Amino acid sequence: MIKLQDVRKTYQLGDNRVEALKGISLSIESGDFVSVQGSSGSGKSTLLNILGILDSYDSGSYTLNGTAIRDLTQKQAAHYRNRFIGFVFQSFNLINHKSAVENVALPLYYQGVPRRERNQLAMDYLDRVGLAGRAEHKPAELSGGQAQRVAVARALITKPALLLADEPTGALDSETSAQIMQLFRDVNDEGVTVLIVTHEEDIAAQTRRTVQLRDGDIARDERLE
Ligand X SMILES: Nc1ncnc2c1ncn2[C@@H]1O[C@H](COP(=O)(O)OP(=O)(O)OP(=O)(O)O)[C@@H](O)[C@H]1O
The contact set with another protein (CB under 8 A) reads 49, 52, 54-56, 74-75, 78-83, 87, 89, 93-98, 106-107, 109-111, 115, 154, 158
40 binds, among Mg ion, another protein, ligand X, none (CB under 5 to 8 A by kind): ligand X
3-state secondary structure of 35: strand
- The amino acid that residue 121 corresponds to is L
Q: HSE (CB half, 13 Å, CA atoms) of 84?
A: 18
**Which residue, 46 or 206, is less far from Mg ion as judged by CB?**
46
- The residue type of 63 is T
Residue nearest to ligand X (CB): 45
Cα–Cα separations (whole angstroms), residue 73 to 53, 58, 80, 221: 11, 17, 11, 32
Q: Is 18 in the site for ligand X (CB under 6 A)?
A: yes
- Select 57 or 184, whichever has its Cβ closest to another protein: 57
Contact segment (CB under 6 A) with ligand X among 35-43, 77-85, 141-149, 156-164 equals 35-43
**Maximum pairwise Cα distance, the chain:** 52
Q: How far apart are CA 97 and CA 180, in angstroms?
A: 24
Nearer to ligand X, 9 or 118 (CB): 9
Taking the complex as a whole, the smallest distance from the CB of residue 165 to Mg ion amounts, in Å, to 11
- Minimum CB distance to another protein, residue 217 (Å): 21
What does the alpha-carbon distance between residue 31 and residue 78 come to, in Å, rounded to a whole number? 23
Q: Does 20 bind ligand X (CB under 6 A)?
A: yes
Q: Is residue 220 at the binding interface for ligand X, with CB under 6 A as the rule?
A: no
| SS3 category, 225 | coil
Q: Distance between CA 11 and CA 119 in Å, rounded? A: 40
**What are the residues facing 193 on neighbouring strands?**
162
Number of neighbouring beta carbons within 10 Å of residue 125: 21
Q: From the CB of 93, what's the least distance to ligand X, in Å?
A: 15
Which of another protein, Mg ion, ligand X, none does 87 bind, CB closer than 5 to 8 A by kind?
Answer: another protein
- Judged by CB under 6 A, which of 4, 7, 33, 44 binds ligand X? 44
Q: How far apart are CA 90 and CA 170, in angstroms?
A: 6
Q: Which of 27, 41, 109, 111 binds ligand X (CB under 6 A)?
A: 41
Q: Where on the chain is the footprint of ligand X (CB under 6 A)?
A: 11, 13, 18, 20, 38, 40-46, 199
